[in-house]
Amino acid sequence: EIVMTQSPATLSVSPGERATLSCRASQSVRSNLAWYQQKPGQAPRLLIYGASTRATGIPARFSGSGSGTEFTLTISSLQSEDFAVYYCQQYDNWPRGTFGQGTKVEIK
């Protein structure tokens, strides 16, 4: 099984600041990496797929980068609606995709 490890577990950021979230795979997943946002009481929402392609309707302040085993999600200027939990998911060995444990982005 491919293990996905996200860091940090919690990120405290002020509105308007940049947030950088990391995701590491236990083996190469090429560019088969997605990012999701989940707010309390809601279903996850796809932000990024293919490591760097924004899903439909996702604002440009969200960007993804990386390949192989190291990936980054950057939120360039945090808005109030961006405080949430973010998950990465590898789908290189679809359908047995695995998720990271999540990074909570909270208000500083």
Q: Which residues bind another protein (CB under 8 A)?
A: 32, 34, 36, 42-46, 49-50, 55, 87, 89, 91-92, 94-102
CB of 16 or CB of 57, closer to another protein = 57
Q: Minimum Å distance from CB 71 to another protein?
A: 13
CB of 44 or CB of 66, closer to another protein = 44
Find out whether 15 and 21 touch, Cβ atoms under 8 Å. no
Q: Is 8 left (phi over 0), alpha (psi -120 to 50) or beta?
A: beta
CA dihedral 69, 8, 21, 97 (to 10 degrees): 50
Q: Minimum Å distance from CB 10 to another protein?
A: 14
Q: Minimum Å distance from CB 33 to another protein?
A: 9
CB of 36 or CB of 71, closer to another protein = 36
- Output the CA–CA distances (angstroms, integers) from residue 95 to 7, 65, 84, 89, in the order listed: 24, 23, 26, 11
Find out whether 16 and 82 touch, Cβ atoms under 8 Å. no
CB of 68 or CB of 97, closer to another protein = 97
